[in-house]
Amino acid sequence: MHIHRLEKIFLGLGVITLAAFFLILIALQVGESFKPPASSMTIDPTKVASTAPFDRPGLRKLPNGSYEAYYVGQVFFWRPSTLTVPLGAKVRFYVTSTDVVHGFLIEHTDVNLEVMPGWVSTATHVFRHSGDHLIVCDQYCGAGHADMFAHIVVK
Amino acid sequence: MMVLDRMNTATTSAQRRLIFAHLTVAFAALFIGTFFGVLQTLSHANAIQMPPWFDYYRMLTAHGVLLALVFTTFFITGLSHLAVYQTESYPHRSIALGWLGFWLMTLGTVMATFEILAGNASVLYTFYAPLKASPWFYIGAALLIVGTWFALLEWLFITGLWRREHPGERTPLPAFMVLANYIMWFLATIGVAIEVVFMLIPWAFGWVPGVDVLLTRMLFWYFGHPLVYFWLLGAYLVWYGVMPAILKVPIFSDSLTRLAFILFIILSLPVGIHHEFSDPGIADRWKLLQTGLTLMVVVPSLMTAFALFGTFEEYAAKLGKTGFFGIVGSLPWGDPAFAGIALAMLLFIFGGIGGILNASYTLDSTIHNTMWVVGHFHITVGGPVALTLLAATWRLLPALTGKRLFSVGLARAQVWLWFVGMAVMSFAMHAEGLMGAPRRVEHYTYGGSAIAAAWQPYSLLAAGGGIVIFLSVIAFAIVLFGTIFSRPDVTETESARAFTFALARPGDEAPSAFDRLGLWTLVAIALVIVAYAGPFYQHFSEHVYLVPGMRTW
Ligand code: HEM
Ligand SMILES: [Cu+2]
Ligand SMILES: [Cu+2]
CA distance A68 to chain B (A): 18
What DSSP string describes B286-324? HHHHHHHHHHHTTHHHHHHHHHHHHHHHHHHHHTT--SH
| Ligand 1 atom at minimum distance from B34 CA | 1
Task: Determine the Cα angle at B386 with ends B403 and B196, to 5°.
Answer: 115
CB neighbours of residue A126 within 10 Å: 10
Is the ipTM above a cut-off of 0.85? Answer: yes
CA distance B280 to chain A (A): 5
pLDDT for residue B1 is more than 50: no
CB within 8 A of B474, min separation 6: which ones?
Answer: none
**pLDDT, tens digit, for every residue of B338-360?**
999 999 999 999 999 998 888 88
Least confident of B262-276, B314-328, B356-370: B356-370
pLDDT category at B493 given cuts 50, 70, 90 is: low
Task: Determine the Cα angle at B187 with ends B183 and B188, to 5°.
Answer: 115
What's the rounded Cα separation, in Å, for the pair B368 and A114?
Answer: 9
Phi/psi for B268 (5° steps) reads -75, -25
Q: What residues are neighbours of ligand 2 (ion), with CB under 5 Å?
A: A 102, 137, 141, 145, 148
Q: What residues are neighbours of ligand 3 (ion), with CB under 5 Å?
A: B 225
Q: Is A33 exposed, middle or buried (0-12, 13-18, 19+ CB in 10 A)?
A: exposed
What's the rounded Cα separation, in Å, for the pair B486 and B365?
Answer: 53
CB within 8 Å: A40 and B283: yes
The per-residue pLDDT for B6 is 36
Q: Is B58 in the pocket of ligand 1 (CB under 6 A)?
A: no
Residues of A in contact with B368 (CB under 8 A): 112, 138
What's the rounded Cα separation, in Å, for the pair B471 and B483?
Answer: 18
pLDDT category at A1 given cuts 50, 70, 90 is: confident
Known catalytic residues of B are: 225, 229, 376-378, 439-440
What's the rounded Cα separation, in Å, for the pair B453 and B469?
Answer: 25
What's the rounded Cα separation, in Å, for the pair B377 and B385?
Answer: 10
pLDDT for residue B91 is more than 90: no
**pLDDT, tens digit, for every residue of B441-454?**
999 999 999 999 99
Do strands A119-126 and A41-42 pair parallel, antiparallel, or not at all (unpaired)? antiparallel
- For chain B, say whether A20 makes contact (Cβ under 8 Å): no
**pLDDT, tens digit, for every residue of A92-148?**
999 999 999 999 999 999 999 999 999 999 999 999 999 999 999 999 999 999 999
CB neighbours of residue B7 within 10 Å: 18
pLDDT category at B5 given cuts 50, 70, 90 is: very low
Q: Is B130 exposed, middle or buried (0-12, 13-18, 19+ CB in 10 A)?
A: buried
pLDDT for residue B81 is more than 50: yes
Query: Cα-atom radius of gyration of chain B, to the nearest Å?
Result: 23
- Measuring CA to CA, which residue among B111, B188, B181, B178 is closest to residue B144? B111
CB contacts < 8 A, A to B, total 207
Percent of chain A surpassing pLDDT 90: 80
Residues of A in contact with B436 (CB under 8 A): 105, 107-108, 136
**Using CB atoms, which residue from B282, B291, B442 is nearest to A38?**
B282
pLDDT category at B7 given cuts 50, 70, 90 is: very low
Annotate B191-220 with three-state secondary structure. HHHHHHHHHHHHHHCCCCCCECHHHHHHHH
pLDDT for residue B324 is more than 80: yes
Cis omega (within 30 of 0) on the bond before A45? no
Tell me the average pLDDT across B454-480.
97
